[in-house]
Amino acid sequence: MELEMEFEKALACYEAREYDRAIAICKTLLAQQPQRLDGLNLLGGIAFKQGDWWGAIAYYQELLRYHPHCATGYANLGRTWQELDRLEESESAYRQALSLDQGASRWWFNLAYVYWDLGNLERAIACLETVLEQVPDWDEARSTLSLIRLLQGDFQRGFADYEARPSRRELGDSFPRADLIWQGDSLTGKTLVLLAEQGFGDAIQFVRYVPELAAEGVRVWLRCRPPLLRLFQGLPGCDRLFSTEDPIPPWDAHALLMSLPYLRQTTPKTIPAQIPYLYLSPHCRPALPPPKRGRAKVGLVWSGSPTHRKDGDRSCSLAAFQTWFDLPNIQFYS
């Protein structure tokens, strides 16, 4: 009983993020009972929280030596291999966990990401379909499934499932007049407020629908984060532009920008493809002098949102481009 109370203290310290105390208690317990599953698992969890992936793996492997039928141990090992991008090892660990507990929907979900990163989209889809059979209303799983379907070019099912994404689900809570969410019906002569969502790149990609809507007689107002206002001032068909901090006069309907492919029933052949669709407004002056005659203008984007799941694969430092700056006949821009 006393040892169990000590572990409860360790667990309380873990939940309070007092990791050093939790580690000390667990190690004291393991000195007396080296095979304690809860102590080894908690030490693995602390190492994982601290980003000590190899330390976590060592604890989980030790746990599994003592407890080879512990499904959670295999799942935690799989999750840690995933962080190290050791995808084959991660797949094997998750498969072992699921052989012991088929009903663990979170493990199927994590395994789907492993297969996605391995490029095996069919297996990723199968995992997510299993998740949704078990938990039909899991929006994150459905919106993740939508992204993989879109990678396959399955626009009809992909964009339909993408309506389950959290930002779409929360629209009624985050924007007034939930009864005005546009369902795709005719808006000729009416005002449609489009709400930019997610990253800057997403907004830049999906404003391509604005000229098309305006050409059909829709009065299009666009609401976006302040850093995008200057860029969107020259957007054809945008009747009015609002910051997320501005009040908006009465309107007839509103929609999220990234719902437009679904609402417009976009196919690969009907993507609005007018290039360019963004123009520098006459009211804007370039922040940098124009390039010298004969120089190509090249824009650099070297960093994305650090909270993105795969940001480590897509962001780098500006210094990584330093050797390019001496190339002749090229003018680089941020």
In tens, the pLDDT along 111-147 reads 999 999 999 999 999 999 999 999 999 999 999 999 9
The three-state secondary structure class of 262 is: helix
CB 23 within 8 A of CB 46: yes
Query: Which tens digit of pLDDT belongs to each residue from 141-172?
Result: 999 999 999 999 999 999 999 999 877 777 76
H or E, element range at 100: helix 87-100
Question: Over pLDDT 90: what percentage of the chain?
Answer: 70
Tens digit of each residue's pLDDT (9 = 90 or more) over 38-86: 999 999 999 999 999 999 999 999 999 999 999 999 999 999 999 999 9
Taking 80 as the threshold, does the pLDDT of residue 301 lie above it?
yes
pLDDT on residue 284: 66
Query: How far are the Cα atoms of 167, 202, 209, 230, 320 from residue 197, in angstroms, in the given order?
Result: 7, 7, 14, 17, 30
Structural domains of the chain, ranges and CATH numbers in brackets:
1-101 (1.25.40.10), 176-263 (3.40.50), 296-333 (no CATH)
Are the beta carbons of 277 and 207 closer than 8 angstroms?
Answer: yes
- Residue 300 has what DSSP assignment? -
- pLDDT value for 1: 63
Mean pLDDT of the residues in the chain: 91
**26-30, 110-114, 163-167, 317-321, range with greatest mean pLDDT:** 110-114
Q: How far apart are CA 305 and CA 314, in angstroms?
A: 10
Calculate mean pLDDT across residues 232-258: 93
- Residue 199 has a pLDDT of 87
Copy the structure tokens of residue 181: 């969410």
* Range with top average pLDDT, 91-95, 241-245, 296-300: 91-95
**What is the structure's pLDDT at 140?**
93
pLDDT at 269 over 70: yes
Q: What pLDDT is attached to residue 236?
A: 93
- What is residue 294's predicted lDDT score, i.e. its pLDDT? 79
Highest mean pLDDT among 125-129, 179-183, 232-236: 125-129
Most confident by average pLDDT, 132-136, 282-286, 316-320: 132-136
Predicted local distance difference test score (pLDDT) of residue 306: 83
Distances (CA, A) of 67 to 22, 79, 193, 247: 22, 18, 57, 60
pTM, whole model, 2 decimals? 0.84
Measured CA to CA, the distance from residue 158 to residue 148 in angstroms comes to 8
Q: For residue 76, what pLDDT is reported?
A: 97
Q: Characterize 87-124 residue by residue with b for buried, 16 or more Cβ atoms within 10 angstroms of its Cβ, and e for exposed.
A: bebbbbbbebbbebeeebbebbbbbbbbbbbeebeebb
Residues in the chain: 334
pLDDT at 291: 66
Query: What pLDDT is stored for residue 66 in this prediction?
Result: 96
* pLDDT recorded at residue 308: 75
The predicted structure's pLDDT at residue 259: 95
Residue 175, C-beta contacts closer than 8 angstroms, at least 6 positions apart: 195, 254
